[in-house]
Amino acid sequence: MNTNIEKVRNILLDLDFLIIHEDKDDGIFVINMPDNGVNNLIISCDDSIIIMEQFLFEIKNESLEMYKNLLIKNRDIIHGAFVLDKTGNKVIFRDTLQIENIDRNEIQASINALTVLLSEYANEIINYSK
């Protein structure tokens, strides 16, 4: 296993995240933190970056207001942002980090940003998913 991937794995375990899936060859982890609303957070490691993606909701009723509100909320998110998947039908939280000097605090900060977002913006996310 690549030493950077092993380092990320050790950080995730050190932070007590539940790794529910791991593909060592591709550098992919899927983690859960049920108490904080994190479910199937995908962490993908390559040679230079870590990509974190958490599916939030599927767009049922598209509206200009929803997109505008998501973009406005992006400004408040400390790490990461709301993004659309390739189909444009799913809203995902996504963050990227450089892997070369990754440490515990950087991964923790990204995941904390997601958990704060989920707690502060839960009602809006629920409404948009209907």
Residues contacting 96, CB < 8 A, separation 6+: 49, 50, 51, 52
Residue 47 confidence (pLDDT): 83
Could you tell me the residue range of the domain that residue 33 belongs to?
3-129
Per-residue pLDDT for 67 more than 90?
Answer: yes
pLDDT tens, residue by residue, 9-63: 999 999 989 999 999 899 999 999 888 889 999 999 988 999 999 999 999 989 9
Helices (H), 1-130: 3-14, 64-74, 104-120, 122-129
pTM of the model: 0.91
pLDDT single digits (tens) 75-102: 999 999 999 999 999 999 999 999 989 9
Q: What is the CATH number of the domain that holds 24?
A: 3.30.1460.10
- Work out the pLDDT band at 2, boundaries 50, 70, 90: confident
Q: What angle do CA 78, 84, 88 make, to 5 degrees?
A: 165
Whole-number Å distance between alpha carbons of 66 and 1: 42
Number of domains the chain is built from = 1
